[in-house]
């Protein structure tokens, strides 16, 4: 079933709440102040059963100027707007501001409801209608049907219901694929259940038991229960008004304006690239770096406007801009927003998000403006390619859907086309994707790093993987980096080892002549030492090696198995270690236990050599210490 969300708009006291009550039987004024003052302060919610059997969620938004920010929190994500105008007053200041907001948010379907017709004469009603048509000319509601009703007597209500059904009959379903994103417009606590949040699900599907997080602070939670129109459900999809009971969070942890989202699905940002429209009725031009109030989803965020191609934006004009936010938020490409002046607060413009996670921009840069133009109007192939090109690491198809605002089907089709013409590389494993230019650049970085590493450390097996990732590929997760390296290995460019990688043609263990000579001399020094080997410093000094260079040779002999490091200080030749093992084993099979003094005499060395050897044999579970003695470990 297609789910609908209907919202009201209009001046204070023009009868929005009473209209909803007669349509739905639900009084959306729930606060004592609202009852006493007769106006809506907070958002109200109801549901409406249409004549064709569909059920629509209804949002009653405040009309008073002081409560416009609450109105903005609720009107985003609606399918149809009811612009309510009192027949006895006609178009009023908040009527004008609400129509501006409807226009800026791109709400294209609406019905004009002339309410309180029971209070006026037919001649007056005709004058109000004429004024109304003049006022709406040139707006998205210019061709909207007009319904004349009385929320008191019920006159015209059946006709309004039929009009609502007709206006919403062909609204397409919203896709339930993609990441969950629910802008939170209300937070409260229910005794026995805990924290509940509500909002219109912008994308994805929510299910019982799902892990979620409250963005932008990444607070983890779990879906304990779901309600749609006061009915418990096991799943809710995009486009529905949803109440979500959350486990793992206190009510004070969540605020209106937060977003309930899939874990890891969105990245917080303090910058948004936008196409910004300034209303023709704005009182003055908008200067660069002006402080404004940004209304995005259900959030109000103080921000500054960085105009990218001019010093000021004239009323009625549009341009690309970067909004510099004073607090974190999350957004998606294509999200609509409204801006209001900082003080006094008036709606002055709005627009659409072009890039939800942009880098910092310099102004008056042709390349930046060209990129934003592509993002704004580009076809799916162009959008996906640009997202791939701008990614600092490989991405998934889900990442591309989030960053471009496209559905999964469009992303998959674009990826197939890009891969066919060689612009996209699918990494080993098939999950992670990269632009071909980025992949080539990353490949050059790896090959250059390996060439330099092999030159500096010719005796090592290869470059440590994690060291390479942290130094040159910090944006890559471990999984993405591993898939990337597997792709290079599949090309025959590198050899992969458990902890390192090397150029395919590189072979550790085949050092040049000079290195082979020094290695032989070093091994001979340890072999001559037997059970009383020299220190590393003594060997380095004898061979004329610097500490760093000497350690390379030493580590090579250890990796090759010629030497055994028994502790941080001492290395023994492997032959000496094996001889010591044999002597100790024979002794223990005959005597059963061995002291350090006996080991010293048995090995013909001193305590400073015997004790490290015994402790090494303990670590490799050849012997076991019992008090001050050693015994054999029984296999």
- The long-range contacts involving 627-632, CB below 8 angstroms and separated by at least 24 positions, are 628/595, 628/596, 629/593, 629/594, 629/595, 630/584, 630/588, 630/593, 630/594, 630/595, 630/599, 631/588, 631/592, 631/593, 631/594, 632/585, 632/588, 632/589
Q: What is the mean pLDDT of residues 562-588?
A: 95
Question: Residue 47 forms beta bridges with which residues?
Answer: 57
d(CA 117, CA 48): 22
Give the C-alpha separation, 555 to 293, whole Å: 62
Residue 41 lies in a domain: yes
- State whether 190 and 52 are in the same domain: no
Are 480 and 567 contained in the same domain? no
Domain co-membership, 391 together with 449: yes
CATH number of the domain encompassing residue 96: 3.40.50.300
123 inside domain: yes
As a whole number, the mean pLDDT across the chain is: 87
Residue 176: predicted pLDDT: 62
In a domain, 173, yes or no: no
Give the model's pLDDT for residue 297. 85
Q: Which domain holds residue 445?
A: 378-510
The answer on pLDDT for 497 being more than 50 is: yes
Q: Is residue 174 part of a domain?
A: no
Note if the bond before 227 is cis, omega within 30 degrees.
no
Q: Tell me if 176 is assigned to some domain.
A: no
Residue 381: phi, psi to the nearest 5? -60, -45
Mean pLDDT calculated for residue range 215-241: 88
The neighbour count for residue 307, using CB atoms within 10 Å, is 20
pLDDT at 521: 94
The first and second tokens of residue 32, run together, are 């004592």
Q: What is the pLDDT of residue 179?
A: 78
C-alpha to C-alpha distance for 473 and 124, rounded to whole angstroms: 72
DSSP classification of residue 427: P
pLDDT tens-digit series, residues 286-336: 999 999 999 998 889 999 999 999 999 999 999 999 999 999 999 888 888
Distance CA 179, CA 414 (A): 19
Q: Which of 233-237, 340-344, 441-445, 455-459 has the lowest mean pLDDT?
A: 455-459
> Residues 445-484: pLDDT tens digits?
999 999 999 888 877 888 999 999 999 999 899 999 999 9
First to last CA, the chain: 69
Per-residue model confidence (pLDDT) at position 230 = 75
Statement: residue 625 has pLDDT above 60? yes
What pLDDT band is residue 131 in, cutting at 50, 70 and 90? Answer: very high
Query: Do 521 and 528 form a contact (C-beta atoms < 8 A)?
Result: no
Q: What is the pLDDT of residue 348?
A: 93
- Model-wide pTM > 0.85: no
How many domains, the chain?
Answer: 5
Residues 279 and 364 in one domain: yes
Whether residue 27 is found in the same domain as residue 158: yes
Which class for 620: exposed (0-12), middle (13-18), buried (19 or more C-beta within 10 A)?
A: exposed
Residue pair 247/196 in contact (Cβ under 8 Å)? The answer is no
Please check whether residue 414 lies inside any domain of the structure. Answer: yes
Number of alpha carbons in the 13 Å side-chain half-sphere of residue 434? 21
Q: What is the CATH number of the domain that holds 573?
A: 1.10.10.10
Whether residues 354 and 428 fall in one domain: no
**46-60, 202-216, 512-526, 584-598: lowest mean pLDDT where?**
46-60
Among 232, 261, 290, identify where a domain stops: 261
| pLDDT classification of 44: cutoffs 50, 70, 90 | low
At residue 511 the predicted structure's pLDDT band, cuts being 50, 70 and 90, is low
Same domain, 522 and 505: no
The side-by-side arrangement of strands in the sheet containing 500-503 is 463-464, 500-503, 494-496
Residue entry with tokens 């100790």: 584
Lowest mean pLDDT among 144-153, 261-270, 276-285, 433-442: 261-270
pLDDT of residue 175: 61
Instruction: Report the 10 Å Cβ neighbour count for 524.
Output: 12
Same domain, 464 and 451: yes
* Greater pLDDT, 517 or 290: 290
User: Is the model's pLDDT at 283 over the cut of 70?
Assistant: yes
Q: Which residues contact 322 (CB under 8 A, 6 or more apart)?
A: 271, 272, 273, 274, 306, 308, 358, 360, 361
Percent of the chain residues topping a pLDDT of 70: 92
Please identify, among 311, 335, 369, the residue that sits at the C-terminal boundary of a domain: 369
Is the pLDDT assigned to residue 35 strictly greater than 50? no
Do residues 494 and 525 both lie within one domain?
no
Q: What distance in Å separates the CA atoms of residue 289 and residue 304, rounded to the nearest whole number?
A: 5
Please report the pLDDT score of residue 559 as a whole number: 83
Classify 415 as helix, strand or coil.
helix
- Residues in contact with 349: Cβ distance below 8 Å, sequence separation at least 6, in sequence order: 104, 276, 277, 278, 279, 282, 286, 338, 339
Residue 141 lies in a domain: yes
Confidence of residue 376 (pLDDT cuts 50, 70, 90): confident
Q: What is the pLDDT of residue 21?
A: 85
Q: In whole angstroms, what separates CA 226 from the centre of its chain?
A: 24
User: Residues 339, 401: one domain?
Assistant: no
d(CA 608, CA 252): 64
Residues 53, 129: one domain?
yes
Per-residue pLDDT at 488: 97
Taking residues 131-146, what's their average pLDDT?
92
- Per the CB < 8 A criterion, the answer to whether 221 and 228 are in contact is no
- Higher pLDDT residue, 172 or 150? 150
**Do 115 and 87 form a contact (C-beta atoms < 8 A)?**
yes
Let me know: does 85 contact 91? Beta carbons within 8 Å.
yes
Q: Is residue 175 part of a domain?
A: no
What is the rounded CA–CA span in Å between residue 398 and residue 407? Answer: 9
- pLDDT (0 to 100) of residue 33: 40
Q: Which residue has the higher pLDDT, 174 or 509?
A: 174
Distance of alpha carbon 182 from alpha carbon 464, whole angstroms = 43
Nearest to 148 by CA among 168, 182, 125, 171: 125
Both tokens of 46, joined, read 């109801």
For 142-201, the DSSP string reads TT--EEE--TTT-TTHHHHHHHHHHHHTTPPPPP--S--EEE--EEEEETTTEEEEEEE-
- Tell me the mean pLDDT in the region 156-180: 82
The mean per-residue pLDDT over the stretch 430-449 comes to 96
Residue 563 sits in the same domain as residue 609: yes
Residue 38 φ/ψ region, left for φ over 0, alpha for ψ in the -120 to 50 degree band, beta for the rest: left
* Two tokens, residue 518: 């020094």
Alpha-carbon distance of 533 to 609, in angstroms, equals 8
Residue whose token pair is 């660069």: 288
- Greatest alpha-carbon pair distance for the chain in Å reads 123
Task: Look at residue 101 in the predicted model and tell me its pLDDT.
Answer: 85
């Amino acid at each position: 079933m297609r789910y609908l969300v209907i919202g009201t708009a209009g001046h204070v006291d023009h009868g929005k709440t009473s209209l909803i009550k007669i349509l739905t039987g639900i009084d959306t004024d729930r606060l004592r102040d609202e009852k006493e003052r007769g106006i809506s302060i907070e958002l109200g919610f109801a549901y409406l059963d249409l004549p064709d059997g569909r059920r629509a969620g209804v949002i009653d938004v405040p009309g008073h100027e002081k409560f416009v920010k609450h109105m903005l929190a609720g009107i985003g994500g609606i399918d149809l707007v009811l612009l309510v105008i009192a027949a006895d007053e006609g178009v009023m200041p908040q009527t004008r501001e609400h129509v501006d907001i409807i226009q800026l948010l791109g709400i294209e379907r609406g019905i004009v409801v002339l309410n309180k017709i029971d209070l006026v004469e037919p001649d007056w009603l005709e004058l109000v209608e004429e004024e109304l048509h003049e006022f709406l000319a040139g707006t998205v509601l210019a061709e909207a049907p007009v319904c004349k009703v009385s929320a008191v007597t019920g006159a015209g209500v059946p006709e309004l219901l039929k009009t609502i059904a007709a206006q919403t009959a062909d609204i397409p379903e919203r896709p339930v694929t993609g990441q969950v994103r629910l802008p939170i417009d209300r937070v409260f606590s229910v005794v026995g259940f805990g924290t509940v949040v509500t909002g219109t699900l912008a994308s994805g599907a929510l299910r019982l038991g799902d892990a979620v997080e409250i963005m932008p602070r990444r607070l983890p939670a779990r879906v304990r229960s779901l309600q749609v129109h006061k009915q418990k459900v096991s799943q809710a999809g995009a486009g529905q008004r949803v109440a979500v009971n959350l486990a793992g969070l206190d009510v004070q942890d969540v605020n209106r304006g937060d977003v309930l989202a899939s874990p890891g699905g969105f990245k917080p940002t303090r910058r948004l690239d936008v196409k910004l429209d300034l209303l023709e009725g704005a009182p003055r031009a908008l200067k660069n770096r002006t402080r404004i109030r940004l209304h995005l989803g259900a959030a109000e965020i103080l921000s500054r406007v960085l105009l990218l191609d001019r010093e000021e934006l004239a009323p009625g004009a549009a341009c690309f801009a970067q909004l510099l936010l004073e607090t974190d938020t999350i957004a998606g490409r294509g999200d609509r927003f409204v801006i209001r002046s900082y003080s006094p607060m008036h709606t002055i413009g709005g627009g659409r998000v072009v890039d939800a996670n942009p880098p910092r921009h310099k102004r008056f840069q042709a390349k930046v403006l060209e990129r934003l133009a592509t993002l704004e109007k580009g076809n799916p192939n162009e959008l996906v390619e640009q997202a791939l090109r701008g990614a600092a690491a490989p991405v998934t198809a889900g990442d591309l859907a989030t960053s471009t605002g496209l559905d999964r089907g469009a992303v998959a089709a674009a990826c197939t086309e890009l891969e066919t013409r060689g612009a996209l590389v699918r990494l080993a494993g098939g999950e992670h994707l990269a632009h071909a230019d980025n992949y080539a650049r990353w490949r050059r970085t790896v090959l250059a790093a390996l060439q330099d590493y092999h030159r500096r450390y010719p005796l090592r097996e290869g470059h440590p993987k994690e060291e390479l990732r942290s130094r040159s590929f910090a944006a890559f997760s471990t999984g993405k980096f591993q898939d990337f390296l597997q792709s290079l290995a599949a090309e025959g460019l590198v050899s992969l080892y458990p902890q390192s990688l090397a150029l395919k043609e590189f072979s550790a263990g085949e050092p040049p002549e000079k290195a082979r000579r020094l290695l032989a001399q070093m091994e001979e020094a340890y072999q001559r030492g037997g059970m009383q080997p020299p220190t590393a410093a003594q060997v380095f000094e004898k061979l004329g090696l610097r500490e760093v260079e000497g350690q390379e040779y030493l580590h090579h002999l250890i990796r090759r198995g010629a030497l055994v490091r028994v502790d941080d200080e001492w290395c023994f030749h492997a032959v000496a270690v094996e001889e010591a093992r044999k002597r100790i084993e024979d002794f223990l099979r005959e005597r059963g236990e061995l002291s350090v003094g006996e080991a010293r005499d048995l090995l013909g060395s001193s305590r400073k050599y015997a004790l490290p050897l015994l402790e090494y044999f303990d670590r490799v579970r050849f012997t076991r210490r019992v008090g001050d003695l050693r015994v054999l470990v029984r296999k």
